[in-house]
Structure 1
Amino acid sequence: MRNILIAAGIALVVSILLTPYLIKVFSRQGFGQEIREEGPQHHKTKRGTPTMGGVAIIVAIWAGYGGSHLFVQLTNPKPESGPTASGLVVMLLTTGLSLVGFLDDFIKIRKQRNLGLNKTAKLVGQFVVTIAFALLALQFREARTGLTPASVHLSFTRDIAIVSFGTVGFVVFCYLLVSAWSNAVNFTDGLDGLAAGSSAMVLGTYVVISFWQFRSDCSVKLDPGCYWVRDPLDLAVIAAAAMAGCVGFLWWNAAPAKIFMGDTGSLALGGLVAGLAISTRTELLMIIIGGLFVIEAMSVVLQIAIFRTTKRRLFRMAPFHHHFELAGWAETTVIIRFWLMAGICCLLGLGVFYNDWLSFTGG
């Protein structure tokens, strides 16, 4: 628990203090956000707001994660207290996708347009990072338990033994999962603070799940309901640092936003929640926990599919949050109600996770 609190505390301070510095630097450099011409008209007043604020979140995550391990090493050094294979591969995925997003944001700024990397280039970037993550996640087998950071089995609240992808299938599955979640968070990042606040809730949920798995770790005790997950405590540390990084960023990103996270932040956060879902063996449960992201992504898919087949629009505008803006809802009203939806999804996901544990323990 101490590791988790230290990681969260460091990340929160770094994010709160670094973000206003980035606002000054990016404003001075003219790193302002371009706005979609076809978007809600009142959004055009946001043109020029500094973007790429996701840099603060990524730095905060690394600071919290590294600072937590450094503190433990200095106060109670143990061979097993350093960074773990699971933690490092998840951090690799998060950082790699943040670099893809940073490049996308930088091109938008330099070209003075709302299009950075084209779809092919962005997908290739996501593909390279995800393949590296998937292959590494199947390596680094722990000698004592035989566990690797990821499993080739599909999972809900734990591995579903009868559904196995094999190595090649797992790599393909990882790409689809990471691409889906990174783009889903990216779609959600359309209103001030919406993605940061929702991501903080999802990541907070994974702090609880990972810590619960640590307390019921099969490699420590073979109690009913225990979990075969490698390095759950380290995953909880990362989730806590990321949650606090989002909260610190939200201080400056809340409406009216002084800075946007950009693709630098949204792609990274989407990759992070995908990485946590894979490494904690909760891939299908993540659909419930991240229900708001699922709704946002599906609204885009349905809008495109229906328009191409019928030439009619299902929503006034996609992603889904813009539909309510154009219906007359105030932006802050949309944000708060969507936050409530995100919170409900997280609580529902936690309830399902806990109920599964009770079913194994006979509670």
Structure 2
Amino acid sequence: MRAILLGGGLSLLISLIGTRYAIVVLARRGYGQEIRDDGPTTHHTKRGTPTMGGIVIILATVVGYFTAKLITMQTPSASAMLLLFLFVGLGTVGFLDDFIKISRQRNLGLRSRAKLIGQTVIAVTFGILALSPALADDRGKTPASHSLSFIRDYERFALPTVVVIVLIWFFVTGFSNAVNLTDGLDGLATGASILVFAAYTLVNIWQNSQSCALESGAACYEVRDPLDLAVVCAAITGACFGFLWWNASPAQIFMGDTGSLALGGALAGLAIMTRTEFLLLIIGGLFVVITLSVMIQVSVFKVSRASGLFRSVFGVKAGHRVFRIAPLQHHFENLGWAEVTIVIRFWIITGLCVAAGLGIFYAEWVAGIG
């Protein structure tokens, strides 16, 4: 537990102080945010705001975690190292995207194919290592499993390794892009991430106290390194807290794709290694809904343009849009909602999703011992 408190506290301090320094350095170098032309007009005033602040979140997390392990004289676990690999790896992909935007003074960084290739390399490498018997503990448990999971593994549904790696790839790329889509308003993605990572810190602590390695039973959890994963979670939560001080409206710095891809990938990695993949869809419900809004918008727009039958059945025009603009948060901006109002209400929605997810998690454990 000391490592969890140290990791979170140190990351918070490093991020709080480091972000202030990063604002000065990035502004001096002219590393400012480019704004999409088809977005809300109110965002044009944000052009030039320093971006790539995700570098601070990543550095604060890594330094906070390893310092906490050094102080407590504990050895980093395989699960924590894999999670940090995913976190830093996807952050690197995001950094390249941000750097290209800045250097070429445009709102388009890496081409979508290049970005997907980078995400795929990191996700597949993570999947292969997480399933490797070489990283199994003395009970034979690897960081990831071959089974589908909601709150624990459904061992009856064990899948071939290739299928599992494909699912891991889908989950990692999906959630890294989901947080990226959510990062459109001052403090929105940062605040939502704090709540979700804090929830996973509690999940990991509970899984550690009820681990099958301590006492086997119907309700115990077969997770390889839950307590060390909690240290990483606490470090990310603290880093996001420190960053939010400067990222809250009016934001003095943006995390950019560097931060959003890293945070989304870390969420996916946590869900995979804690055997709670489908539970993340509830806890991280805001990210899911915002991603769905984009998918619905694009799908309806393309189908309505291509299909006369679709237009006649649903009574829509060619090129119909369900939302005024996607992602969802910008739709509400176009309806006239103030940015701060949207952010706070979306934080509340995230809090409700987290409460629902943790409630289901605890209720399942209670039912398991009943």
- TM-score interval (norm. to shorter): over 0.9
Q: Distance in 2 between matches of 1:143 and 1:26?
A: 43
Moved more, 335-344 or 216-225: 216-225
Measured after TM superposition, the shift of residue 143 of structure 1 is 4.4
- Secondary structure, counterpart of 1:284 in structure 2: helix
Q: Which one-letter code corresponds to 1:218 in the other structure?
A: C
**Contact 1:200–1:247 under 8 Å retained in 2:** yes
Q: Distance in 1 between matches of 2:328 and 2:302?
A: 18
Give the whole-Å Cα distance in 2 for the aligned partners of 1:240 and 1:6.
Answer: 9
Q: 1:89 aligns with which of 78, 82, 92?
A: 82
| Residues in 2 aligned to 1:243 and 1:2: alpha-carbon distance in whole angstroms | 16
Aligned residue for 1:32? 32
Match in the other structure for 1:268: 262
2:304 maps to 1:296: no
Q: 2:159 aligns with which of 137, 149, 165?
A: 165
**1:277 Cα offset (Å):** 0.2
Q: Which residue in the other structure is 1:17 paired with? A: 17
Partner AA of 1:19 in structure 2: T
Alignment partner of 1:326 out of 329, 334, 358: 334
Structure 1 residues 166 and 183: alpha-carbon distance in aligned structure 2, compared to 1, 3 A threshold: same
Alignment of 1:48-67 (within 5 A): 48-67=48-67
**SS where residue 91 of structure 2 aligns?**
helix
Structure 1 residue 101 corresponds to structure 2 residue 132: no
Is the contact between residue 35 and residue 114 of structure 1 (CA under 8 Å) also seen in structure 2? yes
The answer for the alignment partner of 2:369 in structure 1 is: 361
Equivalent in the alignment of 2:233: 239
Partner secondary structure for residue 317 of structure 1: coil
Question: Structure 1: how far apart are the matches of 2:224 and 2:156?
Answer: 20
Q: Which amino acid in 1 is paired with 2:248?
A: A
Residue 202 of structure 2 aligns with which residue? 208
1:186 aligns to 2:177 (yes or no)? no
Superposed CA RMSD: 0.7
Q: Find the aligned partners of 2:93 and 2:40 in 1 and give their Cα distance.
A: 27
**In structure 2, C-alpha distance between the alignment counterparts of 1:340 and 1:243, rounded to whole Å:** 17
Aligned to 1:348: 356
| 2:310 match | none
Aligned structure 1 segments of 4 or more residues deviating by more than 3 angstroms: 140-143
**Is the 1:101–1:268 Cα contact (8 Å) retained in structure 2?**
yes
Give the superposition deviation at 1:224. Answer: 3.6
Letter in 1 for 2:343: I
Distance 1:227 1:71 in 2: 28
Checking the alignment, whether the CA contact within 8 Å between 1:16 and 1:249 is kept in structure 2 is: yes
Question: Matched residue of 2:72: which SS?
Answer: helix
Conserved? CA contact 1:127–1:175, under 8 Å: yes
How much identity, in percent, do the aligned residues show? 53
Report the residue type matching 2:262 in the other structure. Answer: A
Question: Aligned AA for 1:2?
Answer: R
Residue 80 of structure 2 aligns to which amino acid in structure 1? G
1:12–1:247 contact (8 Å) kept in structure 2: yes
How far residue 142 of structure 1 moved from its aligned partner, in angstroms, is 3.3
1:282 maps to 2:290: no
Per the TM alignment, residue 59 of structure 1 is displaced from its structure 2 partner at its CA by: 0.5
Per-residue deviation, residues 222-243 of structure 1 (Å, max 9, x unmatched): 1441100000000000000001
Cα distance in 2 for partners of 1:133, 1:331 equals 37
Query: What's the secondary structure of 2:277's corresponding residue?
Result: coil
Q: Distance in 1 between matches of 2:137 and 2:258?
A: 36
Question: Is the 8 Å Cα contact of residues 178 and 291 (structure 2) preserved in structure 1?
Answer: yes
User: Which residue type is aligned with residue 87 of structure 2?
Assistant: T
Q: TM-score, normalised by structure 2?
A: 0.95
User: Is the aligned partner of 1:199 residue 2:193?
Assistant: yes
Q: Contact 1:97 / 1:126 at 8 angstroms: preserved in 2?
A: yes
Instruction: Give the counterpart of 1:123 among 116, 120, 130.
Output: 116
Does the CA contact (< 8 Å) of 2:186 and 2:250 recur in 1?
A: yes
Shift of 1:253: 0.1
* Matches of 1:353 and 1:64, distance apart in 2: 28
CA displacement, residues 218-275 of structure 1 (integer Å, 9 cap, x when unaligned): 0111144110000000000000000111110000000000000000000000000000
Matched positions, count: 355
The 2-side partners of 1:30 and 1:91 are apart by: 29
In the alignment, structure 1 segments of 5+ residues that lack a partner are: 74-80
Q: Could you tell me how far 1:163 is from its partner in structure 2? A: 1.7
Partner SS for 1:114: coil
Conservation of the 8 A alpha-carbon contact between 1:149 and 1:229: yes
Q: Find the aligned partners of 2:47 and 2:161 in 1 and give their Cα distance.
A: 45
Q: Cα deviations across residues 57-103 of structure 1 (Å, max 9, x unaligned)?
A: 00111011101100111xxxxxxx31000000111011000000000
CA contact (8 A) 1:216 1:223 kept: no
Alignment partners' CA distance in 2, 1:337 and 1:267: 23
Distance 1:285 1:331 in 2: 29
- Who is 2:70 aligned against? 70
